[in-house]
Amino acid sequence: MANVLRRCRGPLLGGVAIWLLSFPLLTSHPAAASHPAYAQGVAIASADAADHRLVRQLERERMAAVAAAEALALAASPTPEIAAPVANAVLQAPPAARPAPPAVRANTIVIARLGLVQPVGWYGDCLGRAPVPHWGAWRWSCAGSNNTYVMAHNPGVFTPILGLRAGDIVQYGDPSGRVHTYRVSYTTIVNNTQMWPLGATSASSLTLQTCWTWDGSRDFIVRALEI
């Protein structure tokens, strides 16, 4: 037994020594608070980096200022060879042509600001039981006197009128082809049980109606007066 221990002692001690030497010298990084020299070095390095960034920023700003000054100087004193063609080009440029306003034909509503040109059909059911066709705009024949009443669906051809506001111009070509021009007075939202928008008006008016809710229980109303 003793002989066995003597033979194994050397390799065992050597293995333990190698195992101990394999550990790192430090098992944790020194904290800056407990090592003033380390903290000071970090602070100095950070300050140097900040100073370097500041120097580069100042240089970029200086170069930008120089470039701007050169551009201003060049614009203030153009050479005759460049200035003459530019002046001639300005003088020879044709004036921008304004698009022609859309034509207002019989049985048509035109709202130029919205780009709306919509033919208007005739809705003759005074009881309002017949469904309004989904596409197209329809004038209600039973509206009160002085009240041209036109309705259409939303979503549909009258969705754009939700963008109307007081002061907008709306034109309507009646069945005879006479063009009536109206200025929007106001817009409002009503329950579909309210009938006053259909009633007579004291002055020549145009009333536009479209759906405000998906179920049609509320309507968006535009009232415009003829000018």
**Quick check: 175 and 185 in contact, CB under 8 A?**
no
Question: pLDDT tens digit string along 112-126?
Answer: 999 999 999 999 888
Whether the link from the prior residue into 155 is cis, omega within 30° of 0, is yes
pTM: 0.56
Q: What is the CATH number of the domain that holds 142?
A: 2.40.260.10
Cβ 94 vs Cβ 112: under 8 Å:
no
Asked if residue 92 has pLDDT above 70, the reply is: no
Least confident range from 1-10, 37-46, 55-64, 72-81: namely 37-46
**Domain membership flag for residue 53:** no
In a domain, residue 30? The reply is no
Structural domains of the chain, count: 1
**Does residue 161 sit within a domain?**
yes
Is residue 167 a part of any domain in this protein? yes
Cα distance between residue 204 and residue 227, in whole Å: 9
Task: Decide if 168 contacts 186 (C-beta within 8 A).
Answer: no
Q: Is position 124 within any domain?
A: yes
Could you tell me if residue 69 is inside a domain?
A: no
Domain that holds residue 143: 108-226
Per-residue pLDDT band at 221 (split at 50, 70, 90): very high
Would residue 207 count as lying in a domain?
A: yes
Q: What confidence tens digit (pLDDT) does each residue in 181-211 have?
A: 999 999 999 999 999 999 999 999 999 999 9
pLDDT in tens, 144-183: 999 999 999 999 999 999 999 999 999 999 999 999 999 9
pLDDT at 140 over 70: yes
Tokens of 131: 């469904």
Residue 144 lies in a domain: yes
Which parts of the chain fold into alpha helices (H)?
A: 2-21, 36-76, 80-92
CA distance 214 to 184: 25
For residue 135, name the pLDDT band (cuts at 50, 70, 90).
confident
What pLDDT is stored for residue 133 in this prediction? 85
Q: Hey, which of 3-17, 19-33, 64-78, 188-202 has the most confident mean pLDDT?
A: 188-202
Mean pLDDT of the chain: 78
